[in-house]
Homo-oligomer: A and B are copies of this chain.
Amino acid sequence: MKRMVMRNATIPVMLFFLLCMFQGSVQGRHLLSSGPGIRPKPDDAAHFARWLVSQSFWGDLSTIESDLGGAPFGNVVSFSDGTPDKGTGIPYFYLTLLDPTARNALKDQRSSFTLSEYSLGTCGKTDPENPTCAKITLTGKLKMVDGKSSEAKYALTALFSKHPEMKDWPKDHNFQIFKLDIEDIFLINWFGGRKPLTVDQYLHA
Select the stretch in A41-49, A82-90, A110-118, A150-158 that faces chain B: A110-118
State whether A129 and B60 are in contact (beta carbons under 8 Å apart), knowing that A22-B19, A72-B111, A110-B71 are contacts in the complex. Answer: no
A174 CB contacts on chain B under 8 angstroms: none
State whether A26 and B15 are in contact (beta carbons under 8 Å apart), knowing that A68-B184, A127-B78 are contacts in the complex. Answer: no
State whether A112 and B71 are in contact (beta carbons under 8 Å apart), knowing that A25-B121, A78-B129 are contacts in the complex. Answer: yes
Bits for A121-165, please: 1 = Cβ < 8 Å to B, else 0: 100001111100001010110000000000000000000000101
Residue in B112, B113, B128, B184 whose CB lies within 8 Å of A78: B128
Copies, count? 2
**What is the number of residues of chain A that contact chain B, defined by CB distance less than 8 Å?**
59
| Distance of A50 Cα from B128 Cα, bound (Å) | 21
A57 CB contacts on chain B under 8 angstroms: 128
Decide if A36 is an interface residue (CB 8 Å cutoff): no
Residues of A within 8 A of B (CB): 11-12, 15-16, 18-19, 22-23, 25-26, 57-65, 68-78, 94, 98, 100, 110-116, 118-119, 121, 126-130, 135, 137, 139-140, 163, 165-166, 183-184, 186, 193
Query: What 8 A-B pairs have minimum CB-CB distances, sorted nearest first?
Result: A72-B72, A74-B114, A60-B60, A58-B128, A62-B72, A76-B135, A78-B129, A22-B22
